Amino acid sequence: MSASLSEILPEDGTAGTLVGRVWRAGHPAGPSVVAIRGDGVFDLSATVPTMADLCNAPDPTALARNSSGERIGALQNLVGDLLAPVDLQALKAAGVAFAVSLLERRIEDHARGDPARAEQVRGELNSIIGADVSAIKPGSPEAEALKKTLMARGAWSPYLEVGIGPYAEIFTKAPPMAAVGYGAEIGIRPDSDWNNPEPEVTLIVSAKGKIVGATLGNDVNLRDIEGRSALLLGIAKDNNASCALGPFIRLFDETFSLDDVRQAKVDLEVTGPDQFRLRGSSDLSKISRDPTDLVAQAMSAHQYPDGMALMTGTLFAPTEPRKAGGTGFTHMVGDLVSIRSPKLGTLTNKVAHCDKIAPWTFGTGALMRNLAARGLLR
């Protein structure tokens, strides 16, 4: 997958503190934590063998900047070796974090996963709900009043509960080490006929619950499967190569802060082998819950000793028909999905069926054995 560095990097290039992971050739070959700097890519593995180690450090930014590392080449020569920029971190995601996504999940529920019914249901629900749910603070008295109204009209659902109720939807997107990175194939199940990308800002969180940076993510969703039952979320969300992250983690520093995350705009473009093109965007300023609230809820009764990557949800809910019959957007094998945000760069992946993508075999045990063989464990 060819792309210019200006397309992959943030709009300010390497001005920020960028870290990632690459697959290094050698005997044995293996993943290395790297810093992306103006004068090249530097392997930090002798200091921090895993990205979890770096992000759990007292000051990840200072560690990434002050570790000299081994220069392993120019970024343009290593793009094909990029991996997902996290390793041991738990891979979590927030759902129904925006009013639009709330309504679309409710539509999936009412349509029972049938894309042909979605447009009809969309109109019915808009007329029933009436209120601008985006103006309602989750868990507030106003939210509780709306809940009672909707329950009386038979329009309540689990999606509205997590959308405007006190508890956010936080779920496990994939096991640690299962995410794919820039340029990799991203998977949809072959038995899904209604699915879409979900471009999301992804928070990088330490074991202590501190947000230390962010990256981009694609929380691929199988709308027909989830729409049949909310209990099928695991099958709809967690499949081979169904979680993409990257291209890098941008750590917080004087050029990038949590306020930049709160105002982040994420653009998406899907280019299909059928010449279909879809563009959309997601604006994090319209999120229903602050990023710090999502992290607090994820950690309210849980510990993540290796930290976590938390996808924050998306405003993007495509309804533009791709096929005749008004069935809405769905992926085709061969779709090229590009997700870009000015401060985070571009994450690009090509869609394939999960069973046609190379099986995931390099898990936590393999990583530990690999690091030990390379003399990187202490």
Give the model's pLDDT for residue 148.
82
Q: Classify residue 256 as exposed, middle or buried by CB count within 10 Å of its CB (0-12, 13-18, 19+).
A: buried
Identity of the amino acid at 219: D
pTM score: 0.91
- Residue 227: both structure tokens together: 């729409």
Give the model's pLDDT for residue 97.
80
> In this structure, which CATH number among 3.30.465.10, 3.40.50.970, 3.90.850.10, 3.30.1860.10 belongs to the domain 90-97+169-366?
3.90.850.10
Q: Classify residue 277 as exposed, middle or buried by CB count within 10 Å of its CB (0-12, 13-18, 19+).
A: exposed
**Integer Cα distance of 265 and 275 in angstroms:** 26
> Collapsing DSSP states into helix, strand and coil, what is residue 136?
coil
The per-residue pLDDT for range 73-116, each reduced to its tens digit, is 999 999 999 999 999 999 999 988 876 666 666 666 666 667 66
Give the model's pLDDT for residue 134.
66
Give the model's pLDDT for residue 326.
58
- Give the start-to-end residue ranges of the domains of the chain: 5-84, 90-97+169-366, 101-164
Give the model's pLDDT for residue 121.
66
Q: Give the residue from 74, 104, 93, 110 showing the smallest Cα distance to 171.
A: 93
Rounded to the nearest 5°, which phi and psi values hold at 51?
-65, -30
**Integer Cα distance of 364 and 172 in angstroms:** 17
Give the model's pLDDT for residue 125.
61
CA dihedral 298, 301, 307, 311 (to 10 degrees): -10
Decide: 33 and 51 in contact? Cβ < 8 Å: yes
Give the model's pLDDT for residue 163.
81
Positions of the chain with pLDDT under 70: 1-2, 99-113, 115-116, 118-119, 121-134, 153, 155, 324-327
